[in-house]
Structure 1
Amino acid sequence: MIHTSIIIEKCRKLFLRKLIDYEFSWKVLKYSSIIDQIFIKVSRIKNIQSNKNQLIKEEKIIDTYIDIINYLLIILIKIDIFFSCKSFSHRIVMSIYNRNIEIIKKDFISSLNFRKNQITTVDSILDKIYYLKNNEEKISTKELKNYSIKILIEIFFLLKEIS
């Protein structure tokens, strides 16, 4: 089993590397653009599961999950930065990243007891992403944040199931 902390550490390291390489390029992206990227990644996972075959061998399915986690965290960071600070640095962004990942981790661990018989699927995540895409004009920032957190928790459940 791949432990949650190992996944989180991989996510954090990748995010920091990308932050150094690309700086704050994600800052100018609309939420809908980030959601589109998440959709592409989740669709990739669904296709791999459906076809039982992975055409792009260099990118493992776990790497795709890590990308999804980081895209969702970018949404949460953008929301936090928009509401809390006008100027920011790598340190501030990583602090927001770490705070959000700890919230997700805590919520995931606390929901383990409640979800014993509930199965999480890639389709349930796609449903949430479709909802976000179809309602992007109407959805509040608070709702976007809540959906992002729910999807993140579901991602960790999927990772728990496949490992």
Structure 2
Amino acid sequence: MNFSSTDDLIIHKCRKLFLEKLKDYGISWVFFHNYSIIDQILMKIVRIKNIQSKGYQKIKEEKITDTYIDIVNYLIIILIKLEIYSTSHFHKKVSNNDVILIYNKKLKKIKNYIDCMDKTFINFSIKNVLENILFLKKKKEKILFKELEKFCFKILVQIIFLLKQNF
């Protein structure tokens, strides 16, 4: 399969893993609170920071890029949940196909945004992402759906940028 850019390759890898996990586990995450998913993201960020500070990783089977991809997918799961709960999907049983359609829509929006970004002003680090996640944890119940959506989108862009640097 040919990819026109690193972004396309990253999106393909994220989507492939998401579909594999969806097939294996279904949409069990729909019952989790968003902040449980944010805790999972926090653990992944701490893992990346530890690998970066040590300069190596002990567990060779899972690459640092895999950890970034997990974060991307966790953030998109939050975005999917927000869309499900803010639309009529909330009152009907959500199918895997519904989830895939929403996932694809979110990925497309993210890719379009990244394609339009002025890359000369980007200065993202895993520390910035950690600060954003800790801000979300501190705000917990006080943050509105739309704010959470914007915040997740912002973090997604940062993570994909960092993922590109590690590809």
- If the TM-score is normalised by the length of the shorter chain, which range does it land in? over 0.9
State the match for 2:94 in structure 1. Answer: 88
Aligned runs of 1:1-163 on 2, under 5 Å? 3-84=6-87, 85=89, 86=91, 87-111=93-117, 113=118, 115-163=119-167
How many percent of aligned residue pairs carry the same amino acid? 47
Secondary structure of the corresponding residue to residue 119 of structure 1: coil
Distance, in Å, in 1 between the alignment partners of 2:71 and 2:166 is 16
Q: Answer whether contact 2:65 2:166 (CA < 8 A) is retained.
A: no
Task: Flag structure 1 segments of 5+ consecutive residues without an equivalent.
Answer: none
Letter in 1 for 2:144: S
- Give the structure with the larger helix fraction: 2
Give a deviation string over 1:25-52, Cα, whole Å, max 9, x none.
1011001100000000011111111110
Task: Provide the alpha-carbon RMSD of the alignment.
Answer: 1.2
Helix, strand or coil: the match of 1:54?
coil
Q: Secondary structure at the match of 2:141?
A: coil
For the residues of structure 2 that align with 1:159 and 1:73, how far apart are their CA atoms? 15
Q: Which amino acid aligns with 1:58?
A: E
Which amino acid in 1 is paired with 2:73? N
Aligned residues between the structures? 160
Compute the TM-score of the two structures, normalised by the length of structure 1.
Answer: 0.94
Q: Secondary structure at the match of 2:43?
A: helix
Q: Which amino acid in the other structure matches residue 105 of structure 2?
A: R
- Structure 1 letter corresponding to 2:101: S
* Deviates further, 151-160 or 33-42: 151-160
Q: State how far apart, in whole Å, the 1-side matches of 2:153 and 2:124 are.
A: 14
Query: 1:126: how far off?
Result: 0.3
Separation (CA, whole Å) in 2 of partners of 1:162 and 1:58: 16
The letter for the 1-side match of 2:97 is R
* Structure 2 residue matching 1:55: 3-state secondary structure: coil
Partners in 2 of 1:55 and 1:79 — Cα distance?
A: 36
Deviation at 1:67, TM superposition (A): 0.3
